[in-house]
Structure 1
Amino acid sequence: MLQEESFKESDEEEIVKDHHPSSLPYLQGSTFASILEDTITELRVLSECNNELRIAKTISDMKLLIALKYGVRQLPVTDELESIDPHNLNCNKYKLDKLAADRKYLSDVLSSTYVGLSVNRSFEPLKEYVKKWLDEKTYRATLAEDEIRNRGIRHDLNKQLRQQRNYIKTKIYETDVTIDELRTTVEDTGLYSETRSRYVENWQRARTEQHLQTIYDKEIVPSRVIEYFKQRADYEQRVHAEVELLTNIRINETLEKVESWMNKYDTDMEAIDLKIQLKKNEYQDMFDRRVNLEQTLEKHDQMMKDWIHFKEEREKARLYREKMMNSAIIIQAWWRGLLVRRQLGPYKVKKKKGDAAKKK
């Protein structure tokens, strides 16, 4: 019978192994399943008994619960990070949601592992969860690297944008100066044309001798006044152009200084960031060294305490042995003295045969 049962068990194990290549033996699978069953039960008891946490979670999810109660249709969640405010990460609601999600994740992992051990006697669900977690960790590390790379690209693009903006402003100022020069040239041409027409008219008036003196007497004073104001206008125009040119030069110099200071600020910030990173690394090294030294001191302290305790126990044992040895010596000496005095045991006086015959 035992052989038949053993053959049946071996056949069942071969069938299970054929069914699932990575399956465990029945005893090991049942043992792990029993352990996970107890763990799942304890987690459920821990979750159900924490009334304060359940009340806080219910209060935080009150809007969602009310919506579900009245049958409000909920949009499918495509990304869990959309509803999270990055400026309020220390909110109690996020902490409760994170705690509930972690507990649910742990319960799902243990439940799936328990089902896999119970049905297939293998840890394939646990392997899948571990692989999924490692993939998520790798994906997050990739996202962090992409974010750092994008930040550097954004910084370079902002720098190029500032340079392009400064270049465009410089070109605009140069174009304005050119337009002002062309406007001044047009005004000078108009004045030149008026002067020529005046000379032609004067030349025509000179042709008429009878009206020359009258026209001269009438126009001499206004002509002088006009010439004076014309010179004043030319002078003011030249002063305005020179002041505007100096102002543009001053603005360009200021822009160059601003650009140089911005470049210096970027360089200094990079150097400061590098120093901060170096200081962080030094602090981390000192912290690790201090932790190692503290652990070494704790070990040495524990070793010294153990050694002192060992010496005390050894001294107590030595004293006890010495006391017992002295007591045994005293008792043996007393007993031997008693035997000698009373002539008992090995110290008993033997009677001679001659003495016994005489007595008879």
Structure 2
Amino acid sequence: MAAVDAMSTTESIDEANENVSALPGPPAINIQDRIHINTVFQDSIDQLAVLGTILPISLEHSAKADYVEKVVGDEISKIVEGQRQLESKFEKLIMEKGDGRDRKVKLGDNDDYYDVTKSIKSSTQALGRSLKTNPLGTDILLKMQDDRGFLQDIMEEAMAEVHEHGSFSCMAESVKTEQKKKSDLLQIIQKEEAARKKVKTLQKQLQEIKRDKEVQIQQRNEMIAHLKDQLQEMKAKTSMEGKYIKKEAEVRVLCTQKKCQQSESELKEDYQGLQSKIDDENRTNNEIETYLRQQHKILEEKVEYWMEKHEKEVEAKQRDLDTLKSNRANDLARLQELTQLYQQYEEVVIEDRLEKEKAKKLEEQKWKENRAAIKIQAWWRGVMVRKRLHSKRKKRKGKGKKGKGKGKGKGKGKGRAKGIGKTRPIKRK
């Protein structure tokens, strides 16, 4: 009975929250109304606390609860098995109805078809009732416990705000937040439906492409068989051509041998002519050798002249080299000074660069932290959306039961909810 009163009080408070969210701004509440409202809040909070001490007992897996869950599961299994048998019978009647039989048999099948359809419909309704009237699901009890805790927290905050400031704007803000979350959830569901339709379209396209590829593979297999036949024909033709070419090559070898003999006799004649030419070349070589010796003597005299000239030029270049060495020493000293100055400038540049890199790393770290915060917020929104979707479905199943509990409540609970209005239950954030 306390649980029923708590649920009635929860609905009343939810109705009050929605009416408050519809107003442009909460009016000031006098002290007497504050006392009355705080009394209602305190009574509701106490009832929710009592409900919180009762619900965990139902969540324990005792032997009795396990037995009841097993009985309910067996009942649902029997209903599902009967559903499958009726569906198989329905499919059998459909197949028989399509056969070419006489008119009388088909009229009898129509009666059977009507009976099976009616049985399937009643079985489906029974299965739905069994699933809806099962109050032993732990997920439903957990949902009720979460909603109870969330509602208790909201009522405590509202009671504190009424006591301190004479308003209950926190309840209106909670309702607005839940409405926004519901609209976001609807948008996500619409996007999911569009994605499912797109997946179905792509699956159909995939099936069509698969059929086309199978046809292409069949055609290619036929082409491969045809090419194999052509390969066998080419092998036979090649063997015959090879024999013919072999005989032809033998004939060509004989002809070539005859030509080589004729060429050999011609080359012998050429050899004799070349031998006489070699003698002439030897004589010419001797004459050229004497001429080259004379030229060698002339060149030796020129070498002596160039050697003397080389020594004089080397002495002149040595003097130039000494001058360059002295200039090089001066340049090295200047280079060392410039190197020290460059190192000083380089240290300044490196320090500046390190400061810039440090600032850049700080900016990147800030960007990464912002990015991580955005991802965590997106993940948290996704978790809350899935949780709201789950709680919406469970609440729709138990909605009728809450209405009956409200009608059986005490008159005191009805008087407290009078003139407040109706709203949907607030879900935990």
Sort the TM-score into its range (normalised by shorter chain): 0.3 to 0.5
Scaled by the length of structure 2, what TM-score is found? 0.32
Scaled by the length of structure 1, what TM-score is found? 0.37
Looking at both structures, which has the greater relative contact order when contacts are Cα pairs under 8 Å and sequence separation is at least 6? 2
